[in-house]
Amino acid sequence: MGQFEIYFATSFLDSNGNPIEDPQKTSFNGRLATRLEQEGFKVFYHPSDGFSPEDLKQKLKEKGLPEDKIVPAVDSIRYHYHMGIMIPKTDIFLVPLNEPITSDIDVRTRYARTTDRFLVAYKTDLQDETNLDGLSKSISPYLLYEFRPRISTSGKRTNSLVYVSSKGETEEEIKSITEFLKQKTNRIPQNMPIPDYAKQNPNLTEVLHNAQKRLFRGIKDIHSPESLEEIAKRFVESQDTFRLHPSINFVL
């Protein structure tokens, strides 16, 4: 059994809708990501997606993209990287369900389910942990629906897990969630292919094709200036084909 890869779905906005400064160190989710990495998981956490928004904006500007289209272009490029590259290649889709839950959590969770990723959610802000019905009352029915059991088309058992408590965002809970995941890894399949039925979904195949065959084809290091320049060039040349889901927000 190799190293488990986790896509950590979080938007890095505080309760007032403002970006969290240095989320890896200051936020509960950031500290949890660090702890998971220390325990041997490979965690894809939003700030580590490799893009410097300012550098990417500059490359797009140099390629002649109009000023009013630069910010939407950055969002679209990152959207395709997350949805078309990172989510399909990870084993576990980890999603926080503590309030407030942003709309992009719904979108990415449903997308992860469609691509047959193993879903793991945690919620530590229940009013009463003995009354788990509070989970269904506090999140949308669409999101709750994604945490139903299912057998994958490959025959391997795929499922979802939910960790719940009422203890809040404490260091104790970071340890508990980490232990919860470590104990459940024997239930989690690795390297799951995207199922055939999902490949027949035109919205999914469009994202996968644009990400894997166009924007990021052959790109090994998205951190490098050369890679950013090539990605910007490809985007500008075919910008009308790269659509961004309106609920996705990659504000940092």
pLDDT, residue 49, reads 66
pLDDT, residue 250, reads 44
pLDDT, residue 215, reads 94
Tokens of 29: 């989710």
Structural domains in the chain plus CATH codes: 5-241 (3.40.50.450)
pLDDT, residue 96, reads 86
Query: Per mean pLDDT, which of 10-14, 48-52, 109-113, 170-174 is the most reliable?
Result: 170-174
Tokens of 170: 């404490």
C-alpha to C-alpha distance for 146 and 98, rounded to whole angstroms:
16
The dihedral built from the CA positions of residue 181, 191, 95 and 219, taken in this order, carries a sign that is positive
pLDDT, residue 22, reads 55
pLDDT digits (tens, 9 = 90+) for 224-236: 889 999 999 999 9
* pLDDT interval class at 94 (50, 70, 90): very high
C-alpha to C-alpha distance for 151 and 116, rounded to whole angstroms:
10
Task: Kindly report the average pLDDT of the chain as a whole number.
Answer: 79
pLDDT digits (tens, 9 = 90+) for 182-238: 988 888 888 888 888 888 888 888 889 999 999 999 998 888 889 999 999 999 998
Strand, coil or helix: 8: strand
C-alpha to C-alpha distance for 164 and 130, rounded to whole angstroms:
10
Structural element, H or E, at residue 207: helix 202-209
* pLDDT interval class at 118 (50, 70, 90): confident
Cα R_g (the chain), whole angstroms: 18
pLDDT digits (tens, 9 = 90+) for 148-175: 544 444 444 456 777 777 788 889 999 9
C-alpha to C-alpha distance for 239 and 231, rounded to whole angstroms:
11
Contacts of 218 (CB under 8 A, 6+ apart): none
C-alpha to C-alpha distance for 79 and 21, rounded to whole angstroms:
21
In the chain, the amino acid numbered 150 is R
pLDDT, residue 40, reads 94
